[in-house]
Amino acid sequence: MSDTESVYERDRVFWLSIVRNIPAMVFVKEASELRFELFNPAGEALLGVSQADLVGKNDYDFFPRDQADFFTETDRKVLAGKSVVDVEEPIKTPHGERWLNTRKVPILDAAGQPLYLLGISLDITERKQAEAALVDRNRKLEEKEAELRRALDQVLAIEGMVMTAARAAETAQGIVQALDAGDTARARSLAVQLAQEAQRTPG
Amino acid sequence: MKRATWNQARLEALIVGNLDAAKVSDAVANGIRRLNLDVTFTKEEASDVLDAMCNEPGTIGIAARFAKVRLVLMPDD
C-alpha cells in the first residue's frame, strides 16, 4: 500500500467509525436514483434492516408507496435546491410508527452538481408523544374550566335568593333581640320590614 | 407579572345584594388593612381580601362568597 493509499484508508476508517457510532440514523443515497450507499447501525436498529440488505435499494423497497413517494419528493427538492432541509416525518418501522427529524444535505461535486444526499435522522417520537399528550391535557383542562364556569354561573344564579334569605334571617334576629330588650316598637318596625322584604322579588 | 389593577372601590362593586354600602365599605377596608395591601393590588390579593371577608358573620360573609365567585369568573386584566 502506498503512502497516499495508507492516508486515505486511515481517513476512511476514521470517518466511518464516527458515522457508525453516532446514535442517530445516518444514511447516504446516490443522487441519480436515490439508492442507499451507506447506512449506519443506529439506522439499522431503527428500521430493522441491515446495511447489507439496504445498499443498492431505494425507499420503494422498504416503505409503503405513499411514504416512499414523500421521501423521494423531499430528496429531489433538496438536491434541486442544493440547500439543507430539515423535515419531520413519520415512518413505519418494526417497532411501530416512529417520528423522525431528518436533516437532508445535498453533497455536490466541484461543478456544483448533486452527487449524494446525506441524511441524519433523530428519533423524536417521545417528544411528539409528549406534545400530543400536552395538547390532550390542555384540551381536557379547557373542558374542565368550562364545566367549572358553568357550575359557578349556576351558583351566581341563586345569589339573589340566598341574599334575601340571609337578610331576612338578620332581620328576624333583630326582632328577637328587640323583644328580649322589651323594645316592642323596634320589634314591630323590623317585622314590617321583614314582611315588606318577603313581598319583594328575590334579588 | 401580575398587575395591580384592583382597589377598594372596585372590590366593593363586586359585592351586591342590597347591602348597606357603608357596612360593605367598612368590611372591605378592614380586609385590605388586615392584609397590609397598598391602595392598588392584584386580582389574587383581591381574592385574598374576599377570602378573609368570607369569615365575617351574616350577610357580609355570604355576599363575599358570591363576590369571590364573580371574581373567579372575571377575565384577567
Q: Tens of pLDDT along A109-126?
A: 999 999 999 999 999 999
Please state, in angstroms and rounded to a whole number, the distance separating the CA atoms of residues A86 and A94: 24
How many domains are there within chain A? 2
User: Is the domain of A166 the same as that of A115?
Assistant: no
Chain B residues whose C-beta is within 8 A of a chain A C-beta are 16-19, 58-59, 62-63, 66, 69-70, 72-73
Q: Does residue A203 surpass a pLDDT of 60?
A: no
Residue A183: C-alpha distances to residues A91, A173, A191 (Å): 89, 14, 12
How many domains are there within chain B? 1
pLDDT at A76: 95
Domain of B29?
A: 8-73
CB pairs under 8 A between A and B: 34
Q: Do B62 and A162 touch (CB under 8 A)?
A: yes
From A153's Cα to the closest Cα of chain B, the distance in A is 8
Q: Where does the pLDDT of residue B2 fall: very low under 50, low under 70, confident under 90, or very high at 90 and above?
A: confident
Domain of A163?
A: 132-199
For residue A19, give the nearest of A2, A1, A44 by alpha carbon.
A44
438536491: which residue's cell?
A79
Among B14, B18, B24, the strongest candidate for a mutation testing the A interface, having the largest count of A CBs within 10 A, is B18
* Main-chain dihedrals φ then ψ at residue B74, nearest 5 degrees: -75, 140
Closest CB from B59, B66, B72 relative to A167: B59
Please state, in angstroms and rounded to a whole number, the distance separating the CA atoms of residues A39 and A195: 91
Among A145, A147, A167, the strongest candidate for a mutation testing the B interface, having the largest count of B CBs within 10 A, is A167
Of the three residues A60, A94, A123, the one that is the final residue of a domain is A123
Distance of CA B12 to the CA centre of its chain: 6
User: Is the domain of A188 the same as that of A163?
Assistant: yes
Q: Is the dihedral of CA A54, A58, A64, A69 positive or negative?
A: positive
Q: Do B69 and A149 touch (CB under 8 A)?
A: no
User: Is the domain of A185 the same as that of A108?
Assistant: no
Q: Do B73 and A149 touch (CB under 8 A)?
A: yes
User: Is the domain of A22 the same as that of A115?
Assistant: yes
Mean pLDDT taken over chain B? 92
Q: Do A159 and B16 touch (CB under 8 A)?
A: yes
Read off the CATH number of the domain in which A108 is found: 3.30.450.20
- Could you tell me the three cell numbers for A75? 430528496
Residues B34-62: tens digit of each pLDDT = 999 999 999 999 999 999 999 988 899 99
Mean pLDDT of A46-64: 89
User: Is the domain of A34 the same as that of A118?
Assistant: yes
For chain A, the residue count is 203
Q: Is residue B25 part of a domain?
A: yes
Q: Is residue B47 part of a domain?
A: yes
Residues A150-198: tens digit of each pLDDT = 999 999 999 988 998 898 999 999 999 999 999 999 999 999 989 988 8
User: Is the domain of A69 the same as that of A163?
Assistant: no
Q: Is residue B53 part of a domain?
A: yes
Closest CB from B16, B58, B66 relative to A170: B58
Q: Where does the pLDDT of residue A20 fall: very low under 50, low under 70, confident under 90, or very high at 90 and above?
A: very high
Q: Where does the pLDDT of residue A202 fall: very low under 50, low under 70, confident under 90, or very high at 90 and above?
A: low
Q: Is residue B57 part of a domain?
A: yes
For residue B63, give the nearest of B50, B73, B75 by alpha carbon.
B50
Q: Do A156 and B70 touch (CB under 8 A)?
A: yes
pLDDT at A77: 93
Mean pLDDT taken over chain A? 91
Of the three residues A92, A123, A154, the one that is the final residue of a domain is A123
DSSP string covering chain A, please? Answer: --HHHHHHHHHHHHHHHHHHH-SSEEEEEETTT--EEEE-HHHHHHHT--HHHHTT--GGGTS-HHHHHHHHHHHHHHHHHTS-EEEEEEEEETTEEEEEEEEEEEEE-TTS-EEEEEEEEEE-HHHHHHHHHHHHHHHHHHHHHHHHHHHHHHHHHTHHHHHHHHHHHHHHHHHHHHHHTT-HHHHHHHHHHHHHHHHSPP-
pLDDT at A201: 58
Whether residue B71 contacts residue B50, with contact meaning beta carbons closer than 8 Å, is answered with: yes
Contacts of B70 in chain A (CB under 8 A): 156
Q: Where does the pLDDT of residue B12 fall: very low under 50, low under 70, confident under 90, or very high at 90 and above?
A: very high
User: Is the domain of A93 the same as that of A155?
Assistant: no
pLDDT at A178: 95
